[in-house]
Amino acid sequence: MNRKSIIIVLALVSLLAGGVFAHDDDSFSMRHLAIRWGQHGVMFDLTSSIVLEASGLDATQLRESLMAGATLAELITANGSDPAQTSAELATQISEQIQTESASRIAGLQDGITEALEHSPVDKRRWRRSRPVPRLPFGGEMNSIILEATSLDAGELRSALLDGSSIAQLIEANEGDVAQVVDALTTQATDAINAATSARLAGVDSVVSEAMERDFSGSFERLRKFRRGGRGIIGFWNSFGMHSDAGAAAEVAET
């Protein structure tokens, strides 16, 4: 994914997935799954060093215990550790990671947005009628800022982009200041990232607490069925269309 696409996705979309994500090696062995649990944009590895230390198990033993139906809280308690303390340590670690990710995204916003405005989204070498109609580059209020700066409606802007113009060129043609538009878009995107980050941070404690008491065995069973799914056009797909090629990440959605 290029920088422009990353900016669009990370600035405007707060992750709202729920489920167990499993990363496998080429053997497809259930013993070697790297298990990550997440909801509402909060994601962490169930086999993290914090959990392994608290449970006294290695990663393989922990996976096998979870597959058998044991909860993280039970495994931690059986080792004489405190699930509440482990939850607090995990929550702190996850919160720090979320804040670091947010700061990194914000740091790259201005350059990414500038690149998006200056880049022509179409291949000028192709015949116009064969070019796919370009989408507006951002979303919501950010696109509204662009429409105002170009004095075009959405259809007119798409048509101009289809002809090979960049948004920066269209802003300048309207006697606008590209740098000011970049600043306005950066502010808007920064606010969106900060809001999404706050929402994620607010959910950390509840997501970690739920994971501590959750029985994941049903998710593993669905993953087994998923592994036995039919062969798709590319890689392996189950009845829900989830990709599970070797080395890829597969989501086992919670019902």
* pLDDT confidence of residue 44: 86
Cβ within 8 Å of residue 214, ≥6 positions away: 37, 71, 72
* Interatomic CA distance for residues 182 and 185, integer angstroms: 5
* pLDDT confidence of residue 52: 95
* pLDDT confidence of residue 131: 62
Q: DSSP letter string over 144-195?
A: HHHHHHHT--HHHHHHHHHTT--HHHHHHHTT--HHHHHHHHHHHHHHHHHH
CA atoms within 13 A on the CB side of 202: 7
* pLDDT confidence of residue 169: 95
Amino acid at 5: S
Amino acid at 207: V
* pLDDT confidence of residue 224: 56
Question: What are the extents of the domains in the chain?
Answer: 14-101+204-253, 109-191
* pLDDT confidence of residue 36: 78
| Spatial CA neighbour of 189 closest among 223, 153, 123, 141 | 141
* Interatomic CA distance for residues 163 and 15, integer angstroms: 34
In a 10 Å sphere around its CB, with 0-12 CB exposed, 13-18 middle and 19+ buried, how is residue 8 labelled?
Answer: buried
Q: What is the mean pLDDT of each run of 10 residues along the chain (255 residues)?
A: 43 40 44 68 88 94 90 97 97 95 93 91 65 75 93 92 91 96 95 92 94 84 53 32 29 31
Do residues 146 and 176 make contact, with C-beta atoms less than 8 angstroms apart?
A: no
* pLDDT confidence of residue 92: 96
Q: What are phi and psi of 27, to 5 degrees?
A: -80, -15
